[in-house]
Structure 1
Amino acid sequence: MIRCKRVYEALAEEDGQRVLVDRLWPRNKRKDDLHGQWLREVALSQGLRKAFHQGEVDFAGFTQRYRQELTAHPEYWYPLLGLAAKGTLTLLYAAKDTEHNNARVLAQWLEDELERHGPGSSPVCYAT
């Protein structure tokens, strides 16, 4: 199962493996409070991040461009498939918008890849 969760939410036993998937470290978050790993390279490019946050790209365009970036760099996200196949994987993000963020796009991407490689599970994204 792949879940998405804001990095500011409390650690939970059901989180399984926790991976921060943002390029920038979240504000006011101590590194020892992460209780997981940080894979900044799997995050979207700086240019796409800025374009999305400035409103130059809508979520559909953002999703399409981020998926293109993921296609170009399987070495960044491929290790996450192994974690997801072994159990629960929680993708952590700092965005306030719990519906429109890179973790949700990445979760769906990974689910699609798991289905291509074998049995998958549904992404679950929890909002605060």
Structure 2
Amino acid sequence: MSETDKLRIDKWLWFARVVKTRTAAAGLCEDGSVRLNGQRVEQAHKSVRVGDVLTIGLNGRVKVLKVLALAERRGPYSVAQHLYEDQSPEPPRVELPSPVAERDEGAGRPTKAERRAIDRFRGGEG
């Protein structure tokens, strides 16, 4: 296997524009936030090859990337997209709480009709 068949993992993360700087990529590896084919990576100099699967914990989400190609330099985002296939799971849907009925200050207590309207708006009986 020749040297062109593999690339340092921190370089690949930077080339693929997963992180903004190579230092940040090395930091991710050393923090243990990166897994290479299921094995935890703790050193930025580990090699990545075509076909490897990277699991990255980034910004509170998990990204699963399959390496499709190795780059020789950091190019534009449109080129970087072709270096990997994103196999990340869909993020869970977050249900937002129902909005709180706000009243103008000094408006006093709502009338019975207003209270019923608020209850209907919140999905209650009324």
Q: TM-score, normalised by structure 1?
A: 0.25
Structure having greater relative contact order (Cα 8 Å, sep ≥ 6): 1
* Structure holding more helix per residue: 1
Return the structure number with greater strand share: 2
